[in-house]
Amino acid sequence: MALLLSLASIALLGFVYNFGSSPVSATTEGKEVTHGSVIKLQHERTKFRLHSHEVPYGSGSGQQSVTSFPGVEDANSFWIVHAPSGTNVQQGDAIPNGSIVRLQHVRTRKWLHSHLHQSPISGNLEVSAFGGDEQSDTGDNWKLEIEGTGSVWLRDQKVRLRHIDTNAYLHSHDKKYSRIVTGQQEVCGVTKKSADNIWSAAEGVYFPVKHKD
Ligand SMILES: *[C@@H]1O[C@H](CO)[C@@H](O)[C@H](O)[C@H]1NC(C)=O
């Protein structure tokens, strides 16, 4: 199952790279965000995309850094939507409100992760990319909270991701790095609900929802 998902992701990624941002079209708005889909997560207020790259934090855990990125095109902003390890979900399954998900960074295979280390700029909780295909722990688990109405996660819908271990929301803001990843914004975990912890699934390749009969 995991292998199938990875193979499919690689195939999809080829598609993404070949066609740039063209799979994005208005006709897919409001469609389900399904397990196995490859997505970019847009920070609602600043429109930056959740991003990672092979740059370690110079403080805190020293793990691979996660930022938000101003451009739309960068391939380091793709994440694969997975269920927690050991869960019996299939590619194409819709994701109900309250579900636990993991986001795997496509390029480096690491998981969106958080823990009690301090984030570099604001001193909130650090969000890193950690582990890999064969290594994942509870620090990779995030709960989907849908804003407004709707029972399953849809594209362009406002959502929050709440980190299970720390109870903090995935958060970004206009606090920018001034060196190495200059112009990119800090991503961190914040327990207080605010407009700066709202995200939406934007560009990507979405598996059509599997209808069960
Ligand atoms: C989704 O679940 C959260 C709690 O986990 C709740 O606060 C929110 O209202 C729910 N959203 C919808 C659209 O039902």
The residue with greater pLDDT, 135 or 208, is 135
Burial of 141-154, coded b for 16+ CB within 10 Å and e otherwise, reads bbbbbbeeeeebbb
d(CA 208, CA 144): 19
Burial of 19 (0-12, 13-18, 19+ CB in 10 A): exposed
Please state, in angstroms and as integers, the Cα–Cα distance from residue 120 to each residue in 53, 143, 186, 199, following that order.
16, 24, 8, 21
Quick check: CB of 150 below 6 Å from ligand 1?
Answer: yes
Q: Is the pLDDT of residue 189 over 80?
A: yes
Condensed to tens digits (0 to 9), the pLDDT of residues 25-62 reads 444 556 999 999 999 999 999 999 999 999 999 999 99
| pLDDT for the residue numbered 23 | 43
d(CA 199, CA 146): 10
Which whole number is the average pLDDT over 125-130?
98
* Rg of the chain on CA atoms, in Å: 16
d(CA 213, CA 198): 34
In the chain, domain spans: 2-206
Taking Cα atoms as reference points, which of 47, 49, 53 lies closest to residue 38? 49
CATH for the 2-206 domain, from 2.80.10.50, 3.40.630.30, 3.40.50.10860, 3.90.1150.10: 2.80.10.50
| pLDDT for the residue numbered 167 | 98
Quick check: CB of 182 below 6 Å from ligand 1?
Answer: no
Are 126 and 172 within 8 A, CB to CB? no
Q: Is the pLDDT of residue 95 over 80?
A: yes
**Which pLDDT band, with edges at 50, 70 and 90, does 24 fall under?**
very low
d(CA 113, CA 127): 6
Quick check: CB of 146 below 6 Å from ligand 1?
Answer: yes
Instruction: Please count the helices (runs of H) and the strands (runs of E) in the chain.
Output: 1, 12
Within 10 A of 91 (CB to CB), how many other CB atoms are there? 16
Are 92 and 115 within 8 A, CB to CB? no
Q: Which atom of ligand 1 is nearest to the CA of 143?
A: 5
What percent of the chain is modeled with pLDDT above 70? 85
Are 77 and 86 within 8 A, CB to CB? no
Quick check: CB of 74 below 6 Å from ligand 1?
Answer: no
Tell me the average pLDDT of the chain: 89
Of 13-27, 111-125, 163-177, the poorest mean pLDDT is in 13-27
Q: Is the pTM of this model over 0.75?
A: yes
Condensed to tens digits (0 to 9), the pLDDT of residues 80-91 reads 999 998 898 999
* Contact partners, residue 35, CB within 8 Å, separation at least 6: 81, 82, 83, 89, 90, 91, 92, 93, 95, 207
**Which pLDDT band, with edges at 50, 70 and 90, does 2 fall under?**
very low
Measured in degrees and rounded to the nearest 5, phi and psi for residue 128 equal -125, 180
Tell me the CA–centroid distance for residue 53 and ligand 1, in Å.
32
**Which pLDDT band, with edges at 50, 70 and 90, does 209 fall under?**
confident
| pLDDT for the residue numbered 27 | 47
